[in-house]
A = this chain, B = another copy of it.
């Protein structure tokens, strides 16, 4: 449906004012896919060669750490840039699993092809630097929140960042994202 294109353009426009022509061209390179709840887009430990944009739905990015614990590092909610493939991989191998928590609409492209487009389109090249910067800052922002806020404040901040998501995804994922146990989360939800 034509709708996906509008969403795609809105996503980029919310970050930077790329000309419609560039967005048009980029969009024509993408493959639009619908994936079902529970599907894994990329797997921790497996090869990963694609980049994705989330157009609709909810994704979570997580990993199994050295102690065997699952740690949710990010949620993607409606239109979002997914962390670029080159930032997610180590020797072509994915450091994370990205999992659909609902049915999702995504746009997908081979990273190599995206890189080619990036190198022949200066405007997009600059825009993508902006986007990486933004993702980088999001990480630092999270570090600060994680380091200086109480669990209660972190929950408030989470709610502001992902309004309503609490009603759609298992609380254990949210607790893991917040760095608390799900028992603590339940307790915090009770307050006020």
Contact residues of A with B, CB < 8 Å? 63, 65, 67, 69, 71, 73, 86-87, 90, 95, 129, 132-133, 135-137, 139-140, 142-144, 146-148, 176-179
Contacts and interface: CB of A to CB of B under 8 A. Distances in A.
A73 B140 CA distance: 8
A140 B139 contact: yes
Contact of A147 (B133, B137, B144, B179): B179
30 contacts: A65-B144, A65-B148, A67-B148, A69-B148, A71-B144, A71-B148, A73-B140, A73-B143, A73-B144, A86-B129, A87-B133, A87-B136, A87-B137, A90-B137, A95-B137, A132-B132, A135-B136, A136-B136, A136-B139, A139-B140, A139-B143, A143-B143, A146-B146, A146-B147, A146-B179, A147-B176, A147-B177, A147-B178, A147-B179, A148-B179
Contacts of A176: 147
Contact of A133 (B73, B86, B144): B86
Chain A interface helix/strand/loop/mixed: helix
Given A139-B139, A139-B140, A71 B133 contact: no
Contacts of A71: 144, 147-148
Contacts of A147: 71, 146, 176-179
Contacts of A135: 136
Contacts of A65: 144, 148
A144 to B, nearest CB: 5
A178 B144 CA distance: 10
Please list the 10 inter-chain residue pairs (A to B) with the smallest Cβ-Cβ separation, ordered nearest first. Answer: A147-B179, A139-B139, A87-B136, A146-B146, A87-B133, A71-B144, A71-B148, A142-B143, A86-B133, A146-B147
Contacts of A178: 147
Nearest to A129: B86
